[in-house]
Structures are given as C-alpha cells and as structure tokens.
Structure 1
Amino acid sequence: MNARTHMAWMSVLMGLTGAAHAVQDCELNGEPVNPANGYTTQGKTGLMRCKDRDSGELQREQELRNGVFMGIVRYYDKGKLAKEQSVNAKGNLHGRARELYPDGQVLREATYDDGHELGLVRSFHPNGQLRRLAFYADPGGERAAAEFTPSGQLSALRCADRPVLAPALDDARLCGFVGPQPSQVELFDGKGGLRARLSFTTGKRVRSERLYDNGKPESVDELSGSQRTERRFSSEGIKRYELVSLIAERSALKQHESEYSEKGSLVREQRWTPAGLPLSDDSYYLNSQPRSKTVYSGEGLARVADITEFHDNGQRAAQGRFGAPAPRGRLIAVGLHRRFDLQGRLISESNYDDKGRVTRERTWDANGLPDRDDEVFEDGSRKAYAK
C-alpha cells in the first residue's frame, strides 16, 4: 500500500466511523473473524462485515479473495454508506471509488489505477451540482481542472494542452481549441458576481482579468508571443503597477517594471536588457520631480552604475559612479562622488578607490569656500592636506 492510500485509509477509519476506539466485531460467511489476525482469514473468500460492538451498526464491508483483502471496500457512518472503493492485492486503490453525503448524494467519484487517480475526477456540492472537475494522467498527475459555484457557474479553470474534460465540460471550446480566435471565459463567485475574465488559445491562457466587487479590474495579465504584461489597479481603477517580461522556456526575464502612486503618478521605473541585465532605474517624488536616476553600462566585471540623486525641487543632490559586477549584487562606490545643496551648489566631494574605500574628502561652506580637505586612511583616521 502506498503512502497516499495508507493515509486515506487512516482518515476513513478515524473519521467516517465516528469512533476511532470503538470495538468492532467482524464476520465472514457467518463465522467470526479478526482482520488483524491473518490466521482467521487465511484462504477464505467472501465479504467480511464489521459492526460496532456497542451499537450493532454496520461500519465496514470488505472483500476477501483466498485470504487476500482485495476487491470492494465499503465504509458506513451511522449505518449509512459513506465511502465505496476497490483495492488490489497490494492494498492500493484500484478501479472506481466514491464518497457520499449522509443523504446519499455523491460527494466525490474517481477512478484509480494501482493507487493513482486516472481520468476524470468529480466532486459535488450538497445540492448535487458539480463542485470540481479534474483530469489526471499517469504520469503527470492533474492536467486540467474546473471549479463551479453551487448554482453551476464556472469559478475556476485550468486547461491542458488538449481537450480532456469532456463530456462533463466542453473544454475544447472554453480552452480555445475551436476556431482561430482566443476563447472568452467568465468566472463567478458564490454569490453570482463576475470575478474574472479569461482567454485561452489551444489550452494556453493568453489573458486574465481579475475584478473587484465594483466591477473594476484588480489585475490584468496578458501574453503576446513571448512577451507577458502584468498590471495591477486600485479599486478606483488607477494603475499601480506594470511589469513586462520575456518568457523563456523555464524562466521569465524582466524588461520593464513601473510602480505608481495612489493618484497614478509614476514613482519608479526600471528597465533591463533582453538578457536580463539592468539598464536603468529611475524614481520620482510624488510632486513628479525626479528622486534618482541610475544608468548601467559596461560588461562583466567592468560593469558600472552612474547614479544621480535629486532634491524635491529638481536640483541635483548627489552624483557618483558605482561598480556593479553582479546583476543583483552590492554596488561599490568608485571614483569621485559629489553632493550639492538645494540651490545646486557643491558642498562635498569624496574619492573612492576600486575597492570602495574612501581615500579623500573635501567640503565647502555656504559661501562656496573650501572648508575641509582630508586624506582618509584604511583604519578611518584622517590627515588634512597641506594648504
């Protein structure tokens, strides 16, 4: 018996009987047997029936064939059939299996092949409406699935690379395998509200739009060729985020990413090369003035980032170059770095070596006159340059 089947059996034995420690009396062909004692069932064939010793209620029926537990297995809850399945000689689920609500309505039905779900698997709402539909392949597991509200409206859909959900669902049409145009699919919540719109082409989702309660878009995800565009919006319909990526076989490379304020103004914009290397990174104040601008250049270990920072009045605040040998690594200050006041006047300079260590610092007073000029050593100590 595999691990999944074993866990399923334990759940049934602990849950469906309603009395995990209840004593059961079992009989086979009118004779008492103990399923935990192989000597009492050795070589026997028939349907073993087990009842609760205190209440006399039937709790389990299980088929034996020449002393081996295989074939039909039924579990009962308060005398009513709750689960029916079949197992093979290894104890793995094999063949049709179903679970039932207390009123006899089917809760779930599936087909197993040596412990693995295979083909269509259905589960149902208490009112009999289909709750979930899935298709399983071996190997591969779940390949496609659809979910439904209690009123029968579609609430979720995942397509395979070919139609597999018929006759329960026309996924050939819904998943875009019919006609040249992408399919148009609407998804609903339990209250009947429209929550999403999807489009598929030959099983591939090419567009999804998630909606707020007020009907405005929450997010939009579109695929065009190898380019994917994702957008997110506020409940008032204002765009807050956008990401454009190149889709490779097993990865997605960012190309352009933008973030927006609550009022819709741009607050950050980043760009990358087709290979995924950073090109630029710009940020903005809420008054639309630039906050910082970063431009990347060079190749490999010689790759650098030139960064300019700004005051909120538009005047330059700082400027310097940084080594950027790794795409996502720490930036290392190199060369001459300058800082400026609100009027754009130079107030300080720092020189860095190729290891990011400051070697000289100079400052100027409010009148633009030299204020300090220090040589800086590795241990942090300083010495003024001779005037």
Structure 2
Amino acid sequence: MAPIKATSLLFFALLWFGGAGLVHAVQDCEMNGQGINPSNGNTTAGKTGLMRCKDRDSGVLQREQQIQNGVFMGLVRHYQDGKLVREHNVNAKGNIDGAAREFAPTGKLLRESVYVDGSETGLIRAFYPGGNRRRIAFNGEGSRESASVEFTEAGQPSALRCGDKPMLAPAFDDAKACGFGAAASQVELFDSAGRVRQRVSYTAGKRTRWESLYDNGQVESSGEITGTQSVGRRFSSTGVKRSEVYGIVNDRRTVRQRELDYSERGTLVREQRWSPDGMPTNDDSFYLNGQPRSKTAYSGSGAQRIVEVSEFHDNGQRARQGRYRAGLRGGTTTSLGTHQSFDEKGRLVAETAYDDKGRIARERAFDENGQLLRDDEVFEDGSRKAFAR
C-alpha cells in the first residue's frame, strides 16, 4: 500500500518584481512502517508510536513526534538538513510541557528551558554556538522574567538584572553578584571588545551604586541610592558634569525631586524642583555669566494651580513678569492678571492686562521716566481704542 501523503502548508510569497511563488516542501509521514497523514485523524486514530516525517523530494528527516492512542502527545523533534534543531514535549492539550532544547547545526546546545502547560517557567539558559554562556534568566509566575544575566562571546558579563532573591543558581551565582550576602557586591560589565562599560553595586538585589563609561574610560553617568534617596549624574567625555537628578525611591520606582543642568563649561544653567508626589514646584534658568535668566514658581492645586514667571536681562534686572494658569503636566496655559515688562535698568516700560478668559483687555506703555505714553482698551477682534478715564 502506498503511503498516505501528509497535508503540507502551501503559501505564496510575492517577490520584488511580482513573478514566482514559493512553496513549502511536502512531507511524507509514517509510523511503524505505515504511512499516515497527521492532518487526517482517521489515519492516526488509536495509534501509539513515533511518527517520522521526511521531505518528499530529498528523503531528509524533517520531524519526529510521538502519538499516544491517537493523540499527539510526548516528544517532538524538528530537523533542518537532517540535523536536530529543536526538541520538546507536548501534553494532551497540545501545549509545550517539560524540557525544551534548541541546537546549532554542529549539535551544540543553544538554548534550554522548561515549560509548564505552555508557559516557560524557571531557569532558562542560552549559549553561543561555540558553547559559552550567552544568557541566563529566570521566569516566575505568568512567565514574567524576574532575573537575568547576559555574557559576551568571550564569557564576560555584559548585563545583569537582579531579582528579590537568588534565582539563577546553579547556572550563575547571583547570590554573590546581587549582594545577597553580608556586603554589597561589586560587578563589572563588559562590551564585546572586552572593555569595562559599567560598574555596579547591589545590596539584597537592589542596585545601590553604578557608573557607565565612555570608550576613553571617562565616566559617562553615575548614580547611587542611599536609603530612599537617589542621585544620578551625567558627564561629558572630557569629565565635565552636565546634569544631576535627585529623587525619592519607592518600591524600585524613583520620583524626581530636583534636576540640575550644566553648560559645557560646568556652570549651572537650569534647576528644576518637584514635590514628593512628582508635581513641579520651581523651574529656574541662568545665563552663562551666572545671572538669573528666568524663575518659575508653581502654587495651588488642581484646576486652581498657578504659575508665577519672571524673566531677567543678563545684568540681573527684571525683563518680564506675569501669572498663568498651570498645565496638568507643568508649563503654562492661560495668562492671568497684569503682565509687566522692564528695560535693562529695571524701569517699567509696558503692562498688559488679561481678562478671565486669558484675552488681552488693556495695554499700557511708559517712557524712560515712567510717564504714560499709551493706554489702550483691546477688544476681542484685536481692535483697540484709547482707554476711557
């Protein structure tokens, strides 16, 4: 009796210039010397054994799969060019269940893990084709990754994510690397060229100190956490500090409290502050000569939150000041009240009054002696007339 041919997946992929279609190879499957069709339940009903499927044209083995009493359950192996590339087990529901492994064409192990009813759970190990460790991870509940470590091809650690307890043994000693002992850990992380890229300290799985490095070995960024306080710094490749961020740490989440930006020369050019719940309170900027450039202060709450803004000339004299309604995420929206402008000697030169909808209602201009030059009432369409006294 001739073998019953297994139904194969057939699809067409359009090429760049629209001509030919690509067809997957047809497989012939058999079990215990008898041809079967894995897509036709009548040919597998009640059968138990190992189904083997080969490419029809070349006769090269493509797949092996266990059948138990007509149900595809147990070992599954996939082959490429006759060489084993993947193997795992499936349960009666068709979900991967148990050990799963992947292989290189040379036969070297590339990846191994364990599934529980379709969910990859527990320790996961990946390897370079040469055999060195590539990545080790641990999946907890819901297949969520809880901890991991990555390596360069030369075997040096390149990335580390610690969990709330040691999870990666025996494949990796994260109890030591993540500081679960009596003292904080000291870990160096490398790039593919063998250069140190980061230095990190952990205490009980939490990162407490860190620094990243430029190619020239200068510190690019650094940070530390002490109790609930954190600070992060960023530097130029020549070692000049460019920014600092201070925050409060709550359950591995950091809420910014203060941020400072510096010029290429290292002088302070901006300082921002936030409340403990993350709402902006102040935003000040500075000229390179050290004089204030602008000062912004937030007050109130909710829809009544107000912003007071003052701007300055580079000699320290006020240039403009006014009040605004604050945006939900900071910044300003509607202009409020009377806004004033000043010359470089601090003399009032103009005033603009806004109505309750943020529209200009009145404009006044003054000369250098403080004498009124113009006083206009401004209407909704932009037209104006001298203000009636």
* Pick aligned residue for 2:38 from 35, 59, 66: 35
Superposition deviation, residue 355 in structure 1: 3.5
- Structure 1 contact 45–64 (Cα < 8 Å) conserved: yes
1-structure distance, mates of 2:165, 2:23:
44
* Pick aligned residue for 2:386 from 364, 384, 387: 384
What is residue 16 of structure 1 aligned with on the other side? Answer: none
What is residue 144 of structure 2 aligned with on the other side? Answer: 141
Matched, 1:128 2:131: yes
1:93-142 deviations in Å (ceiling 9; x for gaps)? 11111111111111111111111112211110111000000112233521
- Structure 2 contact 241–266 (Cα < 8 Å) conserved: yes
Matched, 1:69 2:72: yes
Superposed counterparts of 1:297-312, under 5 Å: 297-298=299-300, 302-312=304-314
Gap change, CA 1:341 and 1:85, over 3 Å in 2: same
What is residue 272 of structure 1 aligned with on the other side? Answer: 274
Superposition deviation, residue 352 in structure 1: 2.5
1:316-368 deviations in Å (ceiling 9; x for gaps)? 21122334485626343323321112233221112233432332211123565
Matched, 1:201 2:208: no
Superposed counterparts of 1:60-99, under 5 Å: 60-99=63-102
Superposition deviation, residue 303 in structure 1: 4.2
If the length of structure 1 is used for normalisation, what is the TM-score?
Answer: 0.89
Deviates more, 1:377-386 or 1:320-329: 320-329
What is residue 347 of structure 2 aligned with on the other side? Answer: 345
SS of residue matched to 2:376: strand
Superposition deviation, residue 42 in structure 1: 0.9
Matched, 1:240 2:256: no
What is residue 22 of structure 1 aligned with on the other side? Answer: 25
- Structure 1 contact 217–235 (Cα < 8 Å) conserved: yes
- Structure 1 contact 132–145 (Cα < 8 Å) conserved: yes
1-structure distance, mates of 2:385, 2:114:
83
Deviates more, 1:259-268 or 1:331-340: 331-340
Q: Which runs of 5+ in 1 are unaligned?
A: 1-9, 11-18
Letter in 1 for 2:85: A
Superposition deviation, residue 40 in structure 1: 0.9
- Structure 1 contact 125–150 (Cα < 8 Å) conserved: yes
Gap change, CA 1:70 and 1:20, over 3 Å in 2: farther
Gap change, CA 1:208 and 1:384, over 3 Å in 2: same
Gap change, CA 1:285 and 1:25, over 3 Å in 2: same
Superposition deviation, residue 233 in structure 1: 1.6
2-structure distance, mates of 1:251, 1:136:
21
- Structure 1 contact 98–106 (Cα < 8 Å) conserved: yes
SS of residue matched to 2:314: coil
- Structure 1 contact 116–138 (Cα < 8 Å) conserved: no
2-structure distance, mates of 1:238, 1:223:
22
1:251-296 deviations in Å (ceiling 9; x for gaps)? 5432111112222221111112323333321111233321111233
Superposition deviation, residue 314 in structure 1: 2.5
- Structure 2 contact 121–143 (Cα < 8 Å) conserved: no
2-structure distance, mates of 1:385, 1:149:
76
Q: Which runs of 5+ in 2 are unaligned?
A: 1-8, 10-21
Superposed counterparts of 1:102-113, under 5 Å: 102-113=105-116
Superposed counterparts of 1:273-352, under 5 Å: 273-298=275-300, 302-324=304-326, 326=328, 328=330, 330-352=332-354
Gap change, CA 1:138 and 1:274, over 3 Å in 2: closer
Letter in 2 for 1:48: M
1:143-194 deviations in Å (ceiling 9; x for gaps)? 1111011111111111111111111111111111111x32111100111100
2-structure distance, mates of 1:114, 1:201:
35
2-structure distance, mates of 1:269, 1:237:
20
